[in-house]
Amino acid sequence: MTSTKPFFAACLALSIAGCGADPEPQPTGSESEPTPAPNAAATPLTGESRFPQSFRVLGTEPFWAIHVSEGKLRYMTPEDQEGRQIEIQREQTERDELALSGTLEGEALTLSVTEEPCSDGMSDRSYPFAATLRLGKATLRGCARPTEP
């Protein structure tokens, strides 16, 4: 069994260094059942958007994290704390969600972000965005916050 303490320490260090804010708690869990992909009738993201250009997503059970910035996504786990970075497509769907998609090690990756309160279930911290990550057949839930001022 692998300890998640180094991963928490890395997340804590990144959170403190990245924004000077309180440490990040780890949000929500996973689901084993696949959920439908985002609406295929997505339109390119243009103009003003309530979704930030740069943000972080954190999930638990299993633990994972994503940093999105400059058109790239970095996916991290306790086993791979440095993470893997991929290029992404960014779309605003008709369902008023942000959909990011790409390929990670041959598997389809889709991150859907919606503007709705999200609780990590482990602390009193609230996040302004909820996230669903689909990586291959796995579906994971998490919470997100902007990293830009």
Bridge partners, 75 (sequence order): 66, 84
pLDDT band, residue 28 (cuts 50/70/90): very low
Where do runs of H (alpha helix) occur along the chain?
5-19
CB 28 within 8 A of CB 99: no
pLDDT band, residue 4 (cuts 50/70/90): very low
The predicted pLDDT at position 84 comes to: 96
Give per-residue pLDDT as tens, 114-143.
Answer: 999 998 777 778 999 999 999 999 999 999
The predicted pLDDT at position 124 comes to: 76
For tokens 């919470």, the residue is 143
Higher confidence at residue 97 or residue 43?
A: 97
Domain ranges of the chain: 5-146
Strand 72-77, strand 97-104: pairing: unpaired
Give per-residue pLDDT as tens, 34-85.
Answer: 334 433 333 333 444 678 889 999 998 889 999 999 989 999 999 999 999 9
Q: What is the pTM of this model?
A: 0.66
The predicted pLDDT at position 32 comes to: 41
Return d(Cα 8, Cα 105) in angstroms, integer.
24
pLDDT band, residue 149 (cuts 50/70/90): low
5-11, long-range: CB within 8 Å, 24+ apart, which pairs? 6/78, 6/81, 7/63, 7/76, 7/77, 7/78, 7/81, 8/63, 10/76, 10/81, 11/58, 11/65
The predicted pLDDT at position 6 comes to: 46
Give 48's contacts (C-beta < 8 A, 6+ positions apart).
Answer: none
